[in-house]
């Protein structure tokens, strides 16, 4: 990452347009939060797109494909903006399962190359993953299974708060995972402005 002090000084001179391939208020708020935390002045908007992956992606490849589809579809609608695709999935790791988001970035006017970022993984109990796999990844998500098991303690759209015992919400995990992306946008914008 780039030094925060430098980023804040540079970002005061520009406002960038960031389009996110979603209408999810949670994801849009996470992008806005990351921009604010890293000192980037940005107009963040969402567009309706499909991920073209199951409701609960499994593995890096499927999750990454979902993020890429979201970014590419958003880029077709807004080719002159920074475009972001975010997809959460469950990943098998040494010692168990975890949820993480794959984040894809397409720069303005570029469609052939993307940049990839990840959130920190959040551990998921194996029996929850087993239930999702048994019921079908097209039918149910980790959050829905946990919310049904713990109706007053877990939100189906934010299982992260429950899984981390209230230490981190899904929005906070996403925002932190977006910091390197925001830093990259700031650095790229600064270089582009100098080249003009």
Distance CA 7, CA 9 (A): 5
Confidence class for position 195, pLDDT limits 50, 70, 90: low
Give the E-state strand segments of 52-113 in sequence order: 82-93, 96-106
Q: What is the CATH number of the domain that holds 86?
A: 3.90.950.10
Does residue 158 register a pLDDT over 50? yes
Report yes or no on 187 lying in a domain: yes
Q: Which domain holds residue 50?
A: 4-121+169-195
Report yes or no on 144 lying in a domain: no
**Low-confidence winner among 11-20, 44-53, 95-104, 136-145 (lowest mean pLDDT):** 11-20
- Long-range contact list for 27-31, CB < 8 A, 24+ apart? 27/86, 27/174, 29/171, 30/86, 30/170, 30/171, 30/172, 30/174, 30/175, 30/178, 31/84, 31/174, 31/175, 31/178
Per-residue pLDDT reduced to its tens digit, 29-45: 999 999 999 999 999 99
Q: What is the CA radius of gyration of the chain?
A: 17
Report yes or no on 85 lying in a domain: yes
Judged by DSSP in three states, 125 sits in: coil
Judged by DSSP in three states, 189 sits in: helix
Answer yes or no: are the C-beta atoms of 155 and 10 closer than 8 Å: no
Tally of structural domains, the chain: 1
Report yes or no on 147 lying in a domain: no
Report yes or no on 143 lying in a domain: no
Q: What value does the mean pLDDT take over residues 43-63?
A: 97
Which pLDDT does position 13 carry in this prediction? 57
For residue 67, give the nearest of 84, 81, 82, 54 by alpha carbon. 84
Distance CA 91, CA 85 (A): 18
Which pLDDT does position 24 carry in this prediction? 97
Provide the token pair at 34. 């990351």
Q: How far is CA 35 from each of CA 40, 64, 106, 160, rounded to the nearest angstrom?
A: 5, 22, 17, 21
Which pLDDT does position 10 carry in this prediction? 47
167 Cβ contact list (under 8 Å, min separation 6): none
Q: What value does the mean pLDDT take over residues 137-143?
A: 96
pTM of structure: 0.91
Which pLDDT does position 122 carry in this prediction? 97
């Amino acid at each position: 990452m780039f030094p925060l002090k430098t980023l804040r000084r540079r970002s005061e001179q520009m406002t960038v347009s960031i389009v996110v391939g979603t209408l999810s208020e949670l994801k849009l708020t996470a992008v806005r939060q990351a921009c604010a935390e890293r000192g980037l002045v940005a107009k963040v908007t969402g567009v309706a797109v499909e991920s073209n992956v199951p409701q609960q992606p499994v593995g890096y490849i499927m999750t990454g494909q979902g993020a890429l589809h979201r970014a590419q579809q958003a880029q077709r609608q807004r080719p002159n903006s920074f475009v972001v695709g975010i997809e959460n999935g469950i990943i098998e790791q040494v010692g168990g399962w975890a949820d993480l988001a794959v984040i894809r970035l397409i720069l303005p006017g570029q469609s052939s190359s993307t940049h990839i970022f990840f959130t920190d993984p959040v551990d998921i109990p194996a029996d929850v993953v087993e239930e999702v796999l048994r019921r079908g990844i097209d039918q149910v998500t980790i959050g829905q299974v946990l919310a049904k098991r713990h109706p007053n303690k877990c939100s189906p759209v934010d299982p992260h708060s429950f899984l981390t015992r209230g230490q981190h919400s899904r929005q906070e995990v996403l925002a932190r995972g977006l910091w390197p992306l925001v830093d990259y946008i700031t650095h790229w914008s600064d270089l582009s402005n100098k080249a003009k």
